[in-house]
Amino acid sequence: MSANAKPYGLLAEFDNTADVLHAAEKVRNAGFRCWDVYMPFPIHGMDKAMGLKNSKVGWFSFVGGVTGYTTGMLMIWWMNAVDYKLMIGGKPMFSPNAAFPPSYELTILFGAFGAILGMLFLNRLPRLNHPLLKHKRFGLASHDKFYVVIETADPKYSETETRKLLEAVGSKRIEMVED
Amino acid sequence: MSQQDDFSNDDPRLPAPLDLSKWRALPGKLIGIGGLITVAGFLYSWKHDGMVNFGFSWLVAFMFFLSLGLGSLFLVMAHHLFDAGWSVATRRLCEHMASLLFPWLAILFIPIALLAPRIYSWMGPALQASPDHALHAKFPLFTTAGFYIVAGACFAVWWLLSSRLKFWSLKQDETGSVECTQKMRFHSYWGIWLFAFTLTFGAIMWMKALQYQWFSTMYGVQYFASSVWLTLATLYVITMLLDRQRVLSDVLHEHQFYFLGTLLFAFTVFYAYVSFSQYFIIWNANMPEETFWYVVREKGTWFYVGLVIIFGHFFMPFLALLRIDVKSNFALMIPIAAWAWLMHFVDMTFNILPAQFKDGFPFEWIWLPLGIMAFMGGLLAQVFIRKFASASPYPKKDPRLVEAMGLYHPVATQISGGELDQADTRHGAPVQPKGGH
């Protein structure tokens, strides 16, 4: 432990799914915001236990889709009816019906971009390193251990009180992780 | 409790039959009111435009009801060709509707035959005297003789098919002989080929020929798709009504409504696929002699009629019918079926009327096709009810009937091959309501 290391958060280890699920419920009820649970496999009911709401990615996707549709329509209208008019097949310069399929394709493409970029943005990705990865024991999160991590950045965080809470919810091994 | 009691149609758990006595006079009223409007429209049109607008309005109503006859004929033949079991319960209704093709729809075609030289510009004296290239290229089909020969051949085939299929079906009611099933299968086999040709010829000669310069190989398929779509919606409502009245309750299984709803869903998509393909290919091929048909339909209010068809004929029914439980929910299916009637009417006007009203949808004339629709609808409903009353409401000795009822069917017959996997083994299971009661 070097002297100038900043603390990142408290790491509490659990041995089974029931313990970590109940621990998550208690941490949620205590009103923490900057915390997370790590487990080797998805646990049914964890979203609810953690109090997670619907992802906001859908909104990014929606905005992307609307942008894509508008871009497609405007692009085709501008190219065919404004910038480079060509009379083809006796058709009008611009017909929204005919411009629909490409605009629809752009709706899907930009919608997918919105979903991917929105997901990366909301997850603060990409990042090159994470403090938890330095912790030797944390690798067991992909094996047979379950972890609750409460960050020091949380407004409710207090070195002693939070440690007490984690002990009270049944963790037998609580460690400080450094940034 | 005896086995008979389990299938009695007096089960108190089913909703009570509706009192339809008030509706009994409806077809007669429709004939009266519609007939008055038709006569008034005829006289008005005679004075103002030489019966041309009357001819177009009549054509809209005729093509609408022709859809019901042809769609029913298809469902009967498809039933035999697929050796289907479930559709035995509704087949008699389709046989009656198909037999409206002759003589009734043939009689209703007479005004079109008489007014043809006024409705179809290519049959007019000017183009007959000196046909242009677009017309000349379609000889000998697009000649006056060709028009009437095609019409005669179409109705002859439809008469032969619908009457043979109905004859053997009614005969089976008496004899119960397997020979009848084999005969119906034989007629369906040759019939489906000629059905495809005659339906396509009908759609080409009576609708597409309004703008004779145009050509599209999808046109017949599009009319076929929307015809079967309309028929399924109509059949669903009639079957539902007869179930409620305890006429068909004994032979319906829960699945029938789901199957009809699923077919309606399938034809919603099929129609959209065919009409979009036709539009997409023609529009992007950039040939003026083809694109003009759609250019006309983007002018004025026709553009919005096109949007109504895109959203109302496809997107709305598509989204409404997606869920599995909707297909057997009467409270949702009745409005969808009514909507299908409206959309098919809009589709017929979109196909027919721009040839005459190039500036936009003829709102000032809309009373005339609607009045003729009321007249034809009342007349055909009257005939249908009479046909329905004259025979058993379902093919009562069809070998597949027990399968349609969803009952255990232990004996392999000559025609079944003995598939038992579809049968409901709950022998003596309680009678349950079929739809969303």
Contact yes or no for A122/A56 (Cβ under 8 A) = yes
At B183, the pLDDT band (50, 70, 90 cuts) reads: very high
Are B295 and A92 inside 8 Å of each other by CB? yes
Contact yes or no for B292 and A92 at CB 8 A: no
C-alpha B426/C-alpha B405 separation (Å) is 12
Is it the case that residue B4 has pLDDT exceeding 60?
no
Judging contacts by C-beta atoms under 8 Å, the chain B residues touching residue A95 are 283, 298
- Complex ipTM above 0.85? no
Instruction: Render pLDDT for B92-116 as a digit per residue (tens, 0 to 9).
Output: 999 999 999 999 999 999 999 999 9
Quote the pLDDT of residue B434: 54
Contact A89 B279 (CB under 8 A): no
Domains of chain A, CATH where assigned: 1-39+147-179 (3.30.70), 57-122 (no CATH)
Token pair listed for A35: 């915390």
- In this prediction, residues B299-317 reach a mean pLDDT of 96
How many Cβ atoms sit within 10 Å of the Cβ of residue A71? 15
Mean pLDDT over each residue of chain B, to the nearest integer: 91
CB atoms within 10 A of CB B415: 13
> Mind listing the pLDDT tens digit for each residue in B264-306?
999 999 999 999 999 999 999 999 999 999 999 999 999 999 9
Query: Can you give the pLDDT at residue B437?
Result: 38
Residue % of chain B over a pLDDT of 70: 90
The reported pLDDT for the residue numbered B412 is 54
Q: Is the pLDDT of residue B406 over 60?
A: yes
Q: b/e string for B149-164 if b means 16 or more Cβ within 10 A?
A: ebbeebbebbbebbbb
B277 reaches A (C-beta below 8 A)? no
- B22-77 per-position pLDDT tens digit: 899 999 999 999 999 999 999 999 999 999 999 999 999 999 999 999 999 999 99
Rounded Cα gap, residues B215 and B150, in angstroms: 18
Q: Which two tokens stand for residue A102?
A: 């490409």
pLDDT band with cut points at 50, 70 and 90 for residue B325: very high
Looking up tokens 């079967």 gives B228
Structure tokens belonging to residue A105: 């394709």
CA angle B310, B316, B318 (to 5 degrees): 95
CA distance B120 to B162: 29
CA distances from B317 to B147, B222, B339, B425 (A): 36, 17, 8, 35
What is the pLDDT confidence band of residue B407, given thresholds at 50, 70 and 90?
confident
Cβ neighbours of A101 in B, within 8 Å? 280
**pLDDT of B331 higher than 60:** yes
- Of A97, A95, A94, A100, the closest CA to residue A68 belongs to A100
Question: Which residues numbered 307-346 in B keep a CB inside 8 Å of some CB on A?
Answer: 310
- Confidence band for B16, pLDDT divided at 50, 70 and 90: confident
* Cβ-nearest to A91 among B280, B295, B310: B295
A97 vs B279: CB contact, 8 Å cut-off?
yes
**CA distances to A31, A148, B315, B381 from A154, in Å:** 10, 14, 48, 75
Taking the C-alpha atoms of residue B61 and residue B41, their distance in angstroms, rounded to an integer, is 14
B172, B167, B176: which is closest to B98 by C-alpha? B167
Q: Does B279 touch chain A (CB under 8 A)?
A: yes
Three-state SS sequence of A7-47: EEEEEEEECCHHHHHHHHHHHHHCCCCCEEEECCCCCCCHH
Residue A147, phi then psi, degrees to nearest 5 = -130, 140
Q: What is the mean pLDDT of each run of 10 residues along chain A (179 residues)?
A: 76 94 94 94 94 93 97 96 92 93 96 97 91 91 94 92 92 90
Does position B374 have pLDDT exceeding 60, yes or no? yes
